[in-house]
Amino acid sequence: MSNLRVLVISATFGAGHVRAAEAVIEAIKNKKPKAEVYHVDFGTFLNKGFNSVIKTTYIDMLKYTPKL
């Protein structure tokens, strides 16, 4: 049987997203040590300007409308 292969996608919009992805990866590795786990930052697929706008909008949303 082939090894488990997992793709984890997160975004560097805040440290929480990356930390959550790292926790998921650690849990997978604890259960399946031979698993191939790949971690990709969603922002690397975006235009740099667009990525910057998304990050700024996200941070501002948290700052000014945290209940959202």
What is the token pair recorded at 5?
């292969």
Alpha helices, DSSP H only, in the chain?
15-31, 48-64
pLDDT for residue 65 = 92
Our count of domains for the chain comes to 1
How big is the CA angle at 9 (ends 67 and 34), to the nearest 5 degrees?
A: 130
Euclidean distance between the first and final Cα of the chain, in Å? 45
Write out the residue range of the structural domain in which residue 56 sits.
5-64
Distance CA 35, CA 31 (A): 9
- pLDDT score of 1: 52
Regarding pTM above 0.85, the answer is: no
Q: Can you give the pLDDT at residue 11?
A: 85
Q: What is the C-alpha separation between 26 and 50, in angstroms, rounded?
A: 31
